[in-house]
């Protein structure tokens, strides 16, 4: 599948769902308000119920129940994909996700696999307020048996989703930041100044390493995922062209189980690490990245900063929301202070 240079993350994901339903009759899609003509709260499921009415199932408002049902379906040969309308509602499904889905394979001594995908939008900057704006994925990182994926504008998010649905056998929490939906995928044509390479061997859920094309040695490593990676990419460009500060940006798409190597390799060169996330500061993803880099690099890790949301509920007010969530200007200021 190829996309036009103007394809959005939403189009990429929607196309992947179409292909998964087309390619395999075991795929069943469940969620709230996902039927046409509405096509889901964020339109990621648009068009699917019209083409596959028997396998696109509109559910009651029962997140725990539908995720539990999906577990049973996956254990018995289907490939369920569940849309949780807002990531905030994942708390309602935490028990089936943590105590059933993630555990079954190991707890049942490898006699079963649970191939299901839970897709959900996370993130703020839309004014949706305290219960519809959070980035709660950190609560699910480190749950044994649960793979957590987070696409960005790099690479092919739809390909990663398709792979999660059909080409692997274990449960996946697929975190889609709301602001990414209408963002365009980065291509060589759209971003001629950027050098993007994939690190490591995990081709299906890659880590991307981004730098300015033919730039001098980077002085700072920035690690970010999801929409924050898009902000960090903008920061990378502005720091280079406005301040001649050259950074390397490391963007994982698999948050758990976490592969630290590409971050460590970059920090081994730069000695400086700035970690950015939209989730809350305390005990977040960034803390784990920093800890692992410190373990791997010891005194070679010279400087560390974390940029994250304040430890507060996300306010509805635009002014307050911007004060709580980490922004592009803060990222740039923080980077400048580190080099």
Partner 1 sequence: MVRMSIQTDYRILALIRRFEETVLAEFSSGAFYGTTHTCLGQEANAVGVLGQIAPGDIVVSNHRCHGHFLAYGGDPRALFAELMGKASGVCGGRGGSQHIHWRNFYSNGVLGSTIPLAVGMALAEKRLGGGAIAVAFLGDGAMGEGIVYESLNFASLWKAPILFAVENNHIAQTTPTRLALAGEIAPRFTGFGIPVLELDSSDVLEIAPTAQRLLDEIRSEPAPRALILNTERFGPHSKGDDTRPEDLLARIRSQRDPLEILGARLDPALRAVINAEVATQISSAFQQALADPDPVLNAYF
List residues binding partner 1 (CB under 8 A): 28, 57, 59-60, 62, 64-78, 80, 95-96, 99-100, 103-104, 106-109, 111-112, 144-145, 257
Count CB atoms within 10 A of the CB of residue 304: 17
**For tokens 């969530």, what's the residue?**
325
Q: What's the rounded Cα separation, in Å, for the pair 247 and 111?
A: 46
Q: What's the rounded Cα separation, in Å, for the pair 292 and 301?
A: 11
Q: What's the rounded Cα separation, in Å, for the pair 242 and 255?
A: 31
Q: Give me 222's structure tokens.
A: 């920035």
CB of 246 to partner 1, least distance (A): 37
CA 103 to chain centre: 22
Residue closer to partner 1 (CB basis): 78 or 235: 78
Residue closer to partner 1 (CB basis): 82 or 209: 82
Residue closer to partner 1 (CB basis): 75 or 180: 75
Q: What is the DSSP letter of 35?
A: S
Q: What is the DSSP letter of 38?
A: T
Residue closer to partner 1 (CB basis): 68 or 327: 68
Residue closer to partner 1 (CB basis): 60 or 298: 60
Residue closer to partner 1 (CB basis): 78 or 335: 78
CB of 263 to partner 1, least distance (A): 20
Residue closer to partner 1 (CB basis): 69 or 338: 69
CB of 82 to partner 1, least distance (A): 11
Question: Is residue 174 within 8 Å of 120, Cβ to Cβ?
Answer: yes
CB of 197 to partner 1, least distance (A): 28
Q: What's the rounded Cα separation, in Å, for the pair 199 and 207?
A: 5
CB of 159 to partner 1, least distance (A): 24
Alpha helix (H) residue ranges in the chain: 9-23, 48-51, 63-75, 94-95, 104-107, 157-166, 226-243, 261-270, 285-297, 318-324, 328-338
Question: Is residue 58 within 8 Å of 66, Cβ to Cβ?
Answer: no
Q: What's the rounded Cα separation, in Å, for the pair 129 and 274?
A: 28
Give the three-class secondary structure for 248. strand
CB of 133 to partner 1, least distance (A): 25
CB of 109 to partner 1, least distance (A): 4
């Amino acid at each position: 599948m190829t996309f036009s240079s103007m394809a959005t993350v939403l189009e990429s994901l929607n196309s992947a769902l179409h292909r998964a339903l087309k390619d395999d009759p075991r795929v069943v899609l469940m969620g709230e308000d996902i039927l046409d003509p509405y096509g889901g709260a964020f339109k990621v499921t648009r068009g699917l119920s019209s083409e596959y009415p028997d396998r696109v199932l509109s559910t009651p408002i029962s997140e725990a129940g539908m995720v539990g049902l999906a577990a049973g379906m996956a254990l018995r040969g289907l490939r369920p994909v569940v849309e949780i309308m807002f990531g905030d509602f994942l708390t309602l499904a935490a028990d089936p996700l943590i105590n059933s889905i993630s555990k079954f394979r190991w707890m049942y001594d490898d006699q079963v696999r649970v191939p299901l995908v839970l897709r959900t939008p996370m993130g703020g900057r839309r004014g949706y307020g305290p219960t519809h704006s959070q980035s709660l994925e950190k609560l699910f990182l480190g749950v044994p048996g649960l793979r957590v994926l987070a696409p960005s504008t790099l690479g092919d998010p739809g390909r990663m989703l398709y792979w999660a649905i059909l080409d692997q056998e274990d449960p996946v929490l697929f975190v889609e930041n709301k602001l990414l939906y209408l963002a365009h995928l980065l291509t060589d044509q759209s971003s001629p100044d950027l050098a993007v390479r994939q690190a490591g061997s995990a081709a299906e859920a890659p880590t991307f390493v981004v730098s300015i094309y033919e730039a001098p040695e980077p002085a700072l490593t920035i690690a970010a995922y999801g929409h924050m990676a898009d902000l960090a990419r903008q920061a990378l460009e502005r720091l280079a062209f406005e301040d001649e500060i050259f950074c390397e940006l490391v963007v994982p798409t698999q948050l758990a189980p976490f592969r630290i190597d590409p971050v460590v390799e970059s920090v081994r060169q730069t000695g400086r690490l700035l970690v950015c996330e939209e989730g809350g500061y305390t005990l977040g993803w960034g803390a784990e990245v920093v800890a692992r880099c410190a373990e791997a690099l010891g005194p070679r890790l010279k400087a560390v900063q974390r940029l994250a949301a304040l430890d507060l509920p996300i306010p509805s007010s635009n002014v307050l929301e911007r004060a709580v969530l980490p922004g592009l200007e803060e990222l740039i200021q923080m980077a400048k202070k580190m080099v």
